[in-house]
Structure 1
Amino acid sequence: MSVRVQRLAADLLCRALQSLLPPSMRDWGLAIRYEVAEIPEDTQALSFALASFRGLAPRAIGLLLMQPFGALHSPRAVGALCAAGSVAMGLVYMTLAGAPVGYLGINAGALVLGLVLLALVSRIPGAGGRLSGALILGLSGLLLATAFVGLRVEGAARWVKLGGVSVQPSLVLLPLMLAGFSRTRTPLATTGIIVAAVAMALQPDRAMAAVMTATLATVAVTRADRPTYLAFTASLLALVVTLLRPDALPAAPFVDQVLFSSFQVHALAGLAVVAGSVMLLVPVLFGGSCDGDSRATYLAFGAAWLAATVAAAFGNHPTPVVGYGGSAILGYVLSLSTLPRPLTSRDIPSRIALAQS
């Protein structure tokens, strides 16, 4: 490529990027053009323009496509809508299946409570996906306590009674902890995940041990390091223990085996359950153009809820969100807080630096 063509290509890339960026961010596009113009060497100028375009254009295009939907450019907002849609699909299923009206009220109430908590957590600076190691360790202590003092049914201690309602802490807390660990792999966080694995083995809970193993395997593939391998090994051992221990819990109506039994109720009920389960994974689509840490968090989030759904399909375990029970609904909405906040103009310099590194 000739020198003149390189300079022209660099300028065209800068102009294209500036036109793609939302109005509030176009000053950054102009700044990139000025920076490119100041680079005397044409090959370096083109390289800088390419790196800037590669780093910003995918997200700029995404924001452009999402503009008609307002706040939907936020993965948390999309996740909240998906949670509401999935709960609604679950209500359709339970209504057709003849579930008690109180079941519908509990699921709807759990959604409202979860959304309120998500809004409160989102107001905390630096909260979101950057769960501290101390918080992960503290939550793991609650899971371990459940194994010893929780409500015991058929030899399994997975629940606690809160205001007359049975809550499964592992469904509420583990997805949040695992997604947080994908970004916060400190010694405290690693210890917390190991303690949580011990808790799953003691309860015992095959489904949530499988969720831990699948999620941490995903994290290990995307962000391989010693803490992740330690946590994954602990979760794998916990899963083996739960498979060796007996699990005599029968299937609970409207809770377990919902993915298959719903089609026996009515085709519409089955389709509602499938649609609601698929909705849970929609926020993961936002992770494709993110940096390494954020991508790992999206994948951990998706792996956790996919594994929970698969485990429920093949065993007597709660079907997340679309089945009866507020624990998974609370857990899903709270785990949305680990997803990154939407990109703003303040994020542009770091995005450029990441693209050029």
Structure 2
Amino acid sequence: FCIATLFSRIEMEGVQRWIGMGPIRLHAGLLLLPVIVSFLPDLRKILALLAVFVLGLTISLQPDRAAAVALLLGVLTLATAKRDRWSFGMLAVAAMGCVGAFWQQDPLQPVQFVEYVVIDAWQFHPLIAIILSGALMLAFVLPLRGLGLRNNIHLFAAMATIMGFAIMSLLGPYPTPLIGYGASAIIGYGLVLGLATSREIVRGNGS
């Protein structure tokens, strides 16, 4: 699905980050990357490494620096939990994809209410920016409350990926997830929580 962005006709100034579903345009990274990262621990090690390579290459060709950092943070979370040569190999591949994305120029200009949401809110009124930032942080923290990293690595890695998008939205013209205009991040976030709930149900039935 993410690779489809390279062949999509949805393009802005040479950048291809979106997939079309009829009249709807969705940001592929915000929609799918957290979900894909959450599945990496379930794959065979060589397939997980190959998946990260394909993702890193696709992201660097789009190009999308925010998605590159998001992938790097997600894989870093996996490597922190697993600490084996395969996870560190994935981390190295994700880092190379990040370098590739940053190597290219990103010509897109920010769109109001999509990019720089917190910064624009601060300029309008600091209290609004604080409320938005607090709501965004709660969206990351509450699903992880009381959970251990090793037993819930899927959810931690997915949340780290979304957090990568949030961090980059403060540093450059990239969409602000969840509190910015657009459905892609909201749908992706919902998919991540739905998958986490399903895993808990399966785990409970298994025990």
TM-score in terms of structure 1 length: 0.53
Q: Aligned pairs, how many? A: 203
Any conservation in 1 of the 2:155–2:192 contact (CA below 8 Å)? Answer: no
Which has the larger displacement, 312-321 or 301-310? 301-310
Match of 2:177 in 1: 320
The structure-2 alpha-carbon separation of the partners of 1:319 and 1:267, relative to structure 1 and needing over 3 Å to count, comes to: same
* Structure 2 unaligned regions, length at least 5: none
Give 1:238's aligned amino acid: G
Q: Give CA deviations for 1:219-255 in whole Å, capped at 9, x if unaligned.
A: 1121123332332222111110111100111111100
Any conservation in 2 of the 1:185–1:227 contact (CA below 8 Å)? Answer: no
- Write the distance in 1 (CA, Å) between the matches of 2:58 and 2:42: 22
The structure-2 alpha-carbon separation of the partners of 1:346 and 1:245, relative to structure 1 and needing over 3 Å to count, comes to: closer
Match of 1:56 in 2: none
Match of 1:284 in 2: 144
Match of 1:108 in 2: none
Aligned residue for 1:213, secondary structure, equals helix
Output aligned runs, 1:74-89, within 5 Å: none
Q: CA deviation at 1:152?
A: 1.3
* Structure 1 unaligned regions, length at least 5: 1-141, 348-357
Tell me if 1:306 matches 2:163: yes
Larger Rg: 1
Any conservation in 1 of the 2:41–2:48 contact (CA below 8 Å)? Answer: no
Give 2:121's aligned amino acid: S
Output aligned runs, 1:1-357, within 5 Å: 142-281=1-140, 282-288=142-148, 292=150, 294-339=151-196, 340-341=199-200, 344=204, 347=207
Q: CA deviation at 1:334?
A: 0.7
Which has the larger displacement, 311-320 or 156-165? 156-165
- Write the distance in 2 (CA, Å) between the matches of 1:149 and 1:309: 25
The structure-2 alpha-carbon separation of the partners of 1:226 and 1:271, relative to structure 1 and needing over 3 Å to count, comes to: same
Which has the larger displacement, 180-189 or 296-305? 180-189
Q: Give CA deviations for 1:60-84 in whole Å, capped at 9, x if unaligned.
A: xxxxxxxxxxxxxxxxxxxxxxxxx
Aligned residue for 1:182, secondary structure, equals helix
**Structure 1 or 2: more helix by fraction:** 1
The structure-2 alpha-carbon separation of the partners of 1:150 and 1:217, relative to structure 1 and needing over 3 Å to count, comes to: farther
Aligned residue for 2:109, secondary structure, equals coil
Aligned residue for 1:157, secondary structure, equals coil
Any conservation in 1 of the 2:4–2:19 contact (CA below 8 Å)? Answer: no
